Structure formats: structure tokens, C-alpha cells
């Protein structure tokens, strides 16, 4: 009866959480739609502002010329008949009125543009917060649903799995959010900028074609850089060089790209003959090295790093070492801390019956070593 009551309570809780998740998702979607509308209005307002500024410049010159003409006619009025004087006066007044209207229009458009930019920033923040909340609720739902399946596990084992499972789910969700942020802040923003610059090029074709060529060159460079960012994201999702070159070649390509991107020297030491292993084993070792290097770049403040890879018929061994600031490995790698990168590395190793160790000394750097046996899940391609 206690188990049934607990099951009923958890299911009711899940229903309430799912309902709240759907409501938050609806808010996020509605806000995202409003965000897109504001973006379109902002593009239109920016274009109208540019056109109005050009008109203001034009009529400023015309109004100045009309005033000079009126001064000339007024000074030598005895040389001109009444019709000429009247025409000069009316033209000057007409240009003044039209210039005043355009200046007011420009002022209004600038204010409108500022308001839209503020709205865009506010809505972007709301969408980001809503998406973060949906992600957190998703983590809770996955965790609770998993709890139902393990309801008969021993209490001590259940508590340990509960903590590890939650951290793994959080790590997965954090990685998805990181990828979403990377796409949003990189290619998505760049594509929006490309649209704006293309709009500007359209205006230059009409009003100032001499400036079009350099602007198109800049647009081409921006597009090329965006394509490189997209290729980087694709590589992070699935390192194709790993399939083509094997573990040693894939790691070598990873280190070359890492050094170019972060200007951080990495010494690569390879022991043993290059050979192919099963895809799960090669991918696990590759991701562990990749995650370790990411930690070096983000946290270690290192001047150089070393990656040692040892390829044997019965074992793969890798060491990633840096000369950075280090940390207290006794406290910062415990199960109670949120070191998702280290947790992911350890989990990848454990899935393949491997071991991962972290040694770090404050002020002297960090060393991460992983050893994975070549067993049923790690046969070489020749053995398969």
C-alpha cells in the first residue's frame, strides 16, 4: 500500500509539473513570436530611418540654397519683379516646412528604433529565462520518471543512482543549452546581421552605389565566417575526421584545430602503432580528450598542454596534462560538486569498463589519465 501511495503521489506530481511545463512552453513560444515581429519591425524602422536621414540631408541643402536665393532677391529687390521675389520667398518657406516635417519624422523614427531595440533585448531575456525554466522542469520530469522505474531498488543504491542520474541528465541538458546558445550567439546572430547588411546594400544600390562594392566585400567576409562557425558546430557534434582517420588521426586533427583556435601550444605524444578500434571506444576516448582540453582552455590559465595517447591491442591509454593554476582535486571532483565535464569524462570511461583519474595541485597544473580495455565493446576493426 505504501508503494502504491507513493506511486500515485509521484504520478500526480508529474501531471502537475507537465501541465506547468506546457504553460511555460506556451509563454516561451508566444514571446518568441513577438520577438520575431519586433525584429521585423526593427529592420523596417532601420530602413525607414536611413531613408529619412538621406531626405533630411537632401532638403537641408535645398533649404540652404533657397535661403541664399531669398537673401539675394531681398537684397537686390529693385532688380527683380514681384513674382520672382514671391517665388523665392514661397520656395524658401516650403523647404523650411518640409525640412521641419522630415526632422520630426527622423526624431520619431529614432525614438521608435530605440524602443524596438529595448523591446528586443527584453523579449530575448524573457525567452532565454523561459527556455531555461523549461529545461529545468524537463530535468525534473526525466528524473522523476526514472525514479518510478527504480522504486524497488535498495535504498542506499537508489540514493547513489539518484544523485548520479540527476547530474548526468543535468550535464546532458547543459550541453544542449550550450549548443543552443552557441548557435544563437554565433550563426543565428550572424545571419540576422547578414539580412540587415543585405538590406543596407539594397539602399546603397539606390542612393550611393559607389559604397556598394566595399559593403558587399564585408558581407561576403561575414558569410564566410558564419560558414566556418557552422562547420565548427558540426565538428563538435560529430567529428567526421574520427571516422576517416581513426583515433590517432582524429586526435591529431583536434589538437591542430585547438591550437589555431585558442593559440595554446599542445604537445602530442603517440605510442604504439596506429590502429582502429570499435566506434564506441574511439568516440569515448576522443570526447574525453576534447572535454579535458576544453577545461584547460576555459579554467586552467595554462601556457601549454601535453596529450599522450598510447594505442595497444588490449588497452587504450590517454593522458592530458597542463601547466595551469590547478585546483584542489580532493574537494572539486567530489560527487557533491557540479563538475559536469569531469562527470561526463568519468561516465564515458566507466561505460567501457575503463578508469579515469584526476590529479591536480594548486599552482602546478592538472593531469587527467584514462585507461580503457579493448574488450567486447572495444574490439579492433581487424578483429571484427
Q: How far apart are CA 286 and CA 37, in angstroms?
A: 43
Q: Could you tell me how many residues make up the chain?
A: 384
pLDDT in tens, 272-301: 888 888 888 888 899 899 889 988 988 888
- Residue 213's pLDDT is what? 84
Count CA atoms within 13 Å of residue 209 on its CB side. Answer: 2
Q: How high is the mean pLDDT of the chain?
A: 79
Enumerate domains of the chain plus CATH numbers.
2-234 (no CATH), 239-378 (3.30.565.10)
pLDDT in tens, 56-86: 898 899 889 888 888 887 777 777 777 887 8
Please tell me the pTM assigned to this model.
0.45
Residue 376: band (very low, low, confident or very high) from pLDDT cuts 50, 70, 90 = very low
For range 172-201, the mean pLDDT: 72
Residue 228: band (very low, low, confident or very high) from pLDDT cuts 50, 70, 90 = confident
- Residue 182's pLDDT is what? 66
- Residue 221's pLDDT is what? 84
Q: Which of 68-82, 179-193, 326-340 has the lowest mean pLDDT?
A: 326-340
Residue 159: band (very low, low, confident or very high) from pLDDT cuts 50, 70, 90 = low
Model confidence at 208: pLDDT above 70: yes
- Residue 338's pLDDT is what? 41
Q: Which residue has the cell 548526468?
A: 168
Which comes out higher in pLDDT, residue 319 or 235?
319
Residue 381: band (very low, low, confident or very high) from pLDDT cuts 50, 70, 90 = very low
Cβ-count burial 173-202 (b if 16+ within 10 Å, e if not): bbeeeeeeeeeeebbeebeeeeeebeebbe
Biggest distance spanned by C-alpha atoms of the chain: 113
- Residue 165's pLDDT is what? 56
Cell of 171: 550535464
- Residue 356's pLDDT is what? 92
pLDDT in tens, 237-248: 556 667 778 889
pLDDT in tens, 114-145: 998 888 888 888 888 877 777 777 776 666 66
- Residue 334's pLDDT is what? 46
Q: How far apart are CA 241 and CA 286, in angstroms?
A: 11
Cβ pair 342, 365 in contact under 8 A? no
Q: How far apart are CA 92 and CA 71, in angstroms?
A: 10
- Residue 357's pLDDT is what? 92
Amino acid at each position: 500500500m505504501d508503494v502504491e501511495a507513493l506511486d500515485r503521489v509521484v504520478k500526480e506530481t508529474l501531471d502537475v509539473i507537465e501541465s506547468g511545463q506546457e504553460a511555460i512552453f506556451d509563454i516561451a513560444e508566444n514571446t518568441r513570436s513577438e520577438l520575431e515581429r519586433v525584429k521585423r519591425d526593427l529592420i523596417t524602422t532601420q530602413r525607414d530611418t536611413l531613408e529619412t536621414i538621406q531626405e533630411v540631408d537632401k532638403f537641408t541643402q535645398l533649404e540652404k540654397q533657397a535661403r541664399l536665393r531669398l537673401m539675394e532677391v531681398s537684397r537686390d529687390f529693385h532688380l527683380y519683379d514681384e513674382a520672382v521675389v514671391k517665388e523665392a520667398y514661397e520656395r524658401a518657406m516650403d523647404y523650411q516646412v518640409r525640412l521641419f516635417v522630415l526632422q520630426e519624422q527622423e526624431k520619431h523614427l529614432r525614438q521608435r528604433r530605440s524602443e524596438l531595440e529595448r523591446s528586443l533585448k527584453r523579449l530575448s531575456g524573457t525567452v532565454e529565462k523561459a527556455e531555461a525554466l523549461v529545461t529545468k522542469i524537463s530535468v525534473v520530469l526525466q528524473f522523476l520518471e526514472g525514479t518510478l522505474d527504480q522504486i524497488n531498488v535498495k535504498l542506499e543504491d537508489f540514493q547513489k543512482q539518484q544523485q548520479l542520474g540527476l547530474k548526468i541528465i543535468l550535464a546532458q541538458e547543459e550541453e544542449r543549452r550550450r549548443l543552443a546558445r552557441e548557435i544563437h550567439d554565433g550563426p543565428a546572430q550572424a545571419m540576422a546581421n547578414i539580412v540587415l547588411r543585405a538590406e543596407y546594400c539594397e539602399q546603397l544600390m539606390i542612393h550611393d552605389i559607389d559604397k556598394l562594392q566595399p559593403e558587399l566585400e564585408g558581407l561576403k567576409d561575414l558569410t564566410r565566417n558564419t560558414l566556418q562557425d557552422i562547420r565548427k558546430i558540426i565538428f563538435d557534434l560529430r567529428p567526421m575526421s574520427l571516422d576517416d582517420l581513426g583515433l590517432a588521426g582524429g586526435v591529431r586533427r583536434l589538437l591542430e584545430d585547438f591550437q589555431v583556435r585558442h593559440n595554446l601550444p599542445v604537445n602530442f605524444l603517440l605510442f604504439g602503432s596506429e590502429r582502429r578500434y570499435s566506434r564506441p571506444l574511439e568516440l569515448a576516448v576522443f570526447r574525453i580528450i576534447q572535454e579535458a582540453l576544453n577545461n584547460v582552455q576555459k579554467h586552467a590559465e595554462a601556457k601549454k598542454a601535453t596529450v599522450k595517447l598510447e594505442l595497444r591491442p588490449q588497452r587504450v591509454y590517454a593522458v592530458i596534462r597542463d601547466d595551469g593554476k590547478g585546483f584542489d582535486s580532493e574537494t572539486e571532483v567530489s560527487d557533491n560538486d557540479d563538475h559536469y565535464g569531469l562527470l561526463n569524462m568519468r561516465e564515458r570511461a566507466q561505460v567501457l569498463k575503463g578508469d579515469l583519474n584526476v590529479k591536480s595541485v594548486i599552482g602546478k597544473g592538472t593531469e587527467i589519465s584514462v585507461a580503457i580495455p579493448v574488450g567486447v565493446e572495444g574490439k579492433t576493426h581487424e578483429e571484427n
